[in-house]
Amino acid sequence: MRSPILQTAAKYLLPILLLFSAFLLLRGHYHPGGGFVGGLVASIAFVLHSFAYGTDNTMKLLWYKPLTLIPIGLMIASAAMFAPVLFGLPVMTGLWFDQPIPVIGMIGSALFFDLGVYLVVIGVVLTILFTISLYTH
Amino acid sequence: MLLIVLSGLITSCLLIPFGKFFRSKWSLSLAVLPLALFMYFAGHIPFISQGNTIVESHRWVPSLSVNFDFSLNGLSLLFSLLITGIGSIIFIYASSYLKGHVYQDRFLGYLCLFMSAMLGVVLSDNILLLFVFWELTSISSFFLIGFNNDNSESRKSAITALSITGLGGFFLLAGLILMSQVAGTYSIGKLVESAQVITDHQYYPIIIALVFVGAFTKSAQFPFHFWLPGAMKAPTPVSAYLHSATMVKAGIFLLARFTPVLGGTDAWSWTLMAVGGFTMIYAAFHSLFRIDLKGVLAYSTISALGILTFLIGMGSEEALIAACTFIVVHALYKATLFLVTGIIDHETGTRDLTKLSGLRAVLVPVFIAGLLAALSSAGLPLSVGFIGKDLIYEATLHADATVSMYLTAAAILTNICLVAAGFMAGIRPFTGKLNPAFEKVHLPHATMWIPPLVLGILGFILGFFPGILGKYVVTAVLNGMTGMPAAVELKIWHGFNLVLLLSIGTLVVGAVLYLLNKPRAGSLQLLERFNRLSPQAVFGDISHFFVSFSERYTNLFHNGFLRSYLLKIIVFAEILLLYELLIGGPIFIDYSQLSPITFYEAANVFILIGAVIMTVTTSSRLTAVVGTSVIGYAICLMFVFYSAPDLAITQFTIDTLTVVLFVFVLFNLPSFLNFSTNNKATVVRDAFVAISFGVILSIIAIKVLQQPTSIDISNYYGKYAYELAKGKNVVNVILVDFRGFDTMFEIVVLSIAALGVYSLLKLRLKSSEKE
């Protein structure tokens, strides 16, 4: 059962929700939001797409298995965690660029850490949901 | 010295990538390692035998006082020479014994690992380091016993050996730590200096009891001896190396090493003499009834270990000389007998004494090696065994006059049985008429029969020139143990005296016993009737009890129904919380502090209650799922009302995804159980548990309000979130900065969960594809 209304809506909602998730991720340090919620919103975007078009089509859209996002995210998070060691500071010390970047604002190691969390959350949620949906029917 | 100790470990690690080169062609070349180490230690003989000690120290974990502190004294030197010397022989032998075996490289790797661990045990000066290596020997022994891992008997023996020696290891660790607490040092060298403090301390009995359990389990003393016969499931080179010449002597080494620290008291010597004495007689007697060649050797080994414990317990200078001479004697003849047995097993395919006979016709050099070893074990004059036995008798005869007769009698009885057992293992398979089935038996590769022959001949060389042994080795050991300079002279001829008479008598009676004692399966069965009472059966019963207890426990608490798990968890939490509430005193509610109820909140609570009622009464699972998500959203609204936007968004998305997850798995779940129609009792019980849990949590929530709140933490985060972490959203700053480690581990846990789901479902798919 494919509903044209849902499919049309999903087509436009997917990029909007992804944009929103990125917005949540970036504003997290100053306003409500953050990597975890951002990741959840992004996965909801894909889940919505999979409801409308079927999980197989969503997987095609993703190019890679969502599982691959997990190690990438873990690597980014741990790189952010250990980057201060290169400057002779304790692990997890916050590092910040001196000047704010247009649109995004201040950028520091915390943002990269959050980015790692964001990717891991997307990877985990989509892996669990899509594996169940693909392999249990 | 660090490199020397770790060389085996490094080699075994290198065998992982390069193992295939050593599988058949180059396996012999690995023997270079123990040979080189043997040369290294042999080079130290002149220096150490003058009573010197070499000390070396490297930092490892200084904060825990675990450092690579090594010391090479006479005692360590004797054991190092045994480990590397017998090790070289075993490596050469094993290269042919396991020729063509798929896992030969793995086997040699385990042997290297073991050698490294054993060297560590004998060279460590730090007692925690000693313990680390001690456990490593147990672990490598586990792998070697279970080497034929497709055989269930062999796996079982490996686990028995590991659990007995591992259990002993725990006791030993406790004893060592207690000892170091009393003396205030982890160094054995320093412990010796504070020996007086330890022996006078009130914990002294506990310390020696713990150390004894460790030593007795490792050295297979009664009642822990039964793992050793089981360990004979290992390939024969392993039995010769670990379970006769070296590892089982680690317990003896431990006792000898701690003699200067803990020894000299009545409790020490009487316990050791009683346990060692009983073990030596018990095992020597048992060895006579075995029909498996390795069984005979296993029990006679236990008996020999008993003799060593007994001698260390006596503690006089003569006894210690006897003990360290006997260590060498035993290693030489027992390793030979094991290697001979290995050849017989390898060539004929059996170790059954009732079937083996007349092999002297086909395996001449092996027969010579077996004969030499058996004669040395019997203590024939001019063999090194003769000297060993003389020293034992001398030590028992010169003991305290009131007991010396009993001690000597025990030693004689043991030795008579051991003479017969040695003949059974070394001579019986070769005498009599050749069994026609074995006519085609031929000599194995030279690398197999030369090693036992060398060891056998060495036993006689040292017997001819006992001065070498006495001057260079025994003197050094005695120096190391007593700390006093001593000059030991071993001689072949002591003149006509009581010792010589006893020695000859033992030999004759033992030989007669050998001739009378024909191997029969019947006598073994007769002995097995008493097995109900044996320690092995008792330990078996205990472990069986644990298994059945955990089975019952598991079935009670883990019956596989999620609802029953939830019920147990909640009831348990209720009991704990109720107890806390009861002892916490009365509760007051300060109404003036509570904020007024707004219209939105009231409406939200109304929706919440409606959703709860719908969820518990519906007969459709889909409705129940929708109901729970309504509850979730209502709670999100609560968070919004009370200004927790971060929490609200997260909860909102999580609730959405939960519904999605439910929809995905809905069709795969078992049919929806609804108790409300058919089982009133269950409904009442669940309702009671649920409502009381809700009530308890509400009371706790109210109680929290009346607690004086400490706002230091909130102030701290509020202040420093911007100053230090440059963030205005405190929640997020805590997540990614202040408590970033937690977040890191949380995402790791999430990843593991995802991988778990992925692999479980994939796995199920694979198995259904097979069908």
pLDDT band at B319 (very low <50, low <70, confident <90, very high): confident
- When mean pLDDT is compared across B84-98, B118-132, B263-277, B487-501, the lowest value belongs to B487-501
Mutate to test the interface with A, among B652, B656, B659, B664 (most CBs of A within 10 A): B664
Determine what percent of chain B is predicted with pLDDT higher than 70: 93
Determine what percent of chain B is predicted with pLDDT higher than 90: 13
What would the mean pLDDT of B33-46 be, rounded to a whole number?
Answer: 86
Domain extents for chain A?
4-135
Chain B positions touching chain A (beta carbons under 8 Å) = 645-646, 649-650, 653-654, 656-657, 660-661, 664-665, 667-668, 724-729, 731-733, 735-737, 740-741, 743-744, 747-748, 750-751, 753-755, 757-758, 761-762, 764-765
pLDDT at B295: 86
Q: Which residues contact B440 (CB under 8 A, 6 or more apart)?
A: none
Dist. CA B105–CA B588, nearest whole Å:
74
DSSP string, B406-446: HHHHHHHHHHHHHHHHHHHHHTGGGSSSPPGGGTT-----H
Q: Is A30 on the interface with B (CB under 8 A)?
A: yes
CA-based end-to-end distance of chain B: 58
Query: Is the CB of A127 less than 8 angstroms away from the CB of B754?
Result: yes
DSSP string, B643-710: T-HHHHHHHHHHHHHHHHHHHHHGGGSPPPP-TTTT-HHHHHHHHHHHHHHHHHHHHHHHHHHHSPPP
pLDDT at B482: 66
pLDDT band at B575 (very low <50, low <70, confident <90, very high): very high
Dist. CA B509–CA B413, nearest whole Å:
10
CA neighbours within 13 Å on the CB side: how many for B189? 15
Query: Is the CB of B736 less than 8 angstroms away from the CB of A133?
Result: no
* Structure-model confidence comparison of residues B320 and B771, the more confident one: B320
Nearest CA in chain A to B650: A37
pLDDT at B609: 93
Query: Is the CB of A120 less than 8 angstroms away from the CB of B750?
Result: yes
pLDDT at B765: 61
- Among A29, A33, A127, the residue with its CB nearest the CB of B733 is A29
Dist. CA B409–CA B404, nearest whole Å:
8
Q: Comparing C-alpha atoms, which of B702, B697, B682 is closest to residue B574?
A: B697
Are B270 and B208 a contacting pair, CB within 8 Å? no
At position B164, the amino acid (one-letter code) is I
Chain A partners of B640 at a C-beta cutoff of 8 Å?
Answer: none
Chain A partners of B657 at a C-beta cutoff of 8 Å?
Answer: 40, 43-44, 47, 125, 129
CA-based end-to-end distance of chain A: 15
A60-108 pLDDT, tens digit each: 888 888 889 999 999 999 998 888 888 877 777 777 777 777 766 677 8
Query: Is the CB of B740 less than 8 angstroms away from the CB of A123?
Result: no
For residue B26, pLDDT beyond 60: yes
B478-487 pLDDT, tens digit each: 776 666 666 6
B490-515 pLDDT, tens digit each: 666 666 777 777 888 888 888 888 88
pLDDT at B344: 86
Chain A partners of B762 at a C-beta cutoff of 8 Å?
Answer: 131, 135
Count how many pairs of residues, chain A against chain B, have C-beta atoms within 8 Å: 137
For residue B260, pLDDT beyond 60: yes
- When mean pLDDT is compared across B48-62, B257-271, B487-501, the lowest value belongs to B487-501
Burial class (CB in 10 A: 0-12, 13-18, 19+), B748: middle
Mutate to test the interface with A, among B736, B749, B758, B762 (most CBs of A within 10 A): B736
B522, two tokens: 């019947």
B683, two tokens: 């409904």
- Among A44, A74, A132, the residue with its CB nearest the CB of B761 is A132
Q: Comparing C-alpha atoms, which of B504, B362, B347, B345 is closest to residue B425?
A: B345
pLDDT band at B768 (very low <50, low <70, confident <90, very high): low
Chain B partners of A83 at a C-beta cutoff of 8 Å?
Answer: none
Residue B634 CA from chain centroid, whole number: 56
For residue B692, pLDDT beyond 90: yes
Nearest CA in chain A to B768: A135
- Among B653, B726, B762, the residue with its CB nearest the CB of A37 is B653
Are B621 and B640 a contacting pair, CB within 8 Å? no
pLDDT at B678: 65
- Among B656, B733, B751, the residue with its CB nearest the CB of A120 is B751
Residue A57 backbone zone (phi > 0: left; psi -120 to 50: alpha; other: beta): alpha
pLDDT at B492: 66
Chain A partners of B758 at a C-beta cutoff of 8 Å?
Answer: 67, 127-128, 131
- When mean pLDDT is compared across A103-107, B357-361, B697-701, the lowest value belongs to A103-107
Mutate to test the interface with B, among A1, A13, A36 (most CBs of B within 10 A): A36
Q: Comparing C-alpha atoms, which of B137, B116, B87, B105 is closest to residue B25?
A: B105
* Structure-model confidence comparison of residues B101 and B624, the more confident one: B624
Q: Comparing C-alpha atoms, which of B404, B213, B395, B179 is closest to residue B308?
A: B395
Query: Is the CB of B656 less than 8 angstroms away from the CB of A31?
Result: no
pLDDT at B172: 93
CA distance A87 to chain B (A): 17
ipTM of the complex: 0.90
pLDDT at B543: 82
- When mean pLDDT is compared across A112-116, B483-487, B746-750, the lowest value belongs to B483-487
Residues 35-64 of A with CB under 8 A from B: 35-37, 40-41, 43-44, 47, 51
pLDDT at B227: 84
pLDDT at A118: 93
- When mean pLDDT is compared across A84-93, B282-291, B549-558, the lowest value belongs to A84-93
Chain B partners of A127 at a C-beta cutoff of 8 Å?
Answer: 754-755, 757-758
Residue B286 CA from chain centroid, whole number: 26
Are B123 and B76 a contacting pair, CB within 8 Å? yes
Dist. CA B467–CA B491, nearest whole Å:
7
pLDDT at B508: 83
Dist. CA B409–CA B397, nearest whole Å:
10
Chain A partners of B753 at a C-beta cutoff of 8 Å?
Answer: 124, 128
Nearest CA in chain B to A70: B751
Q: Is A94 on the interface with B (CB under 8 A)?
A: yes
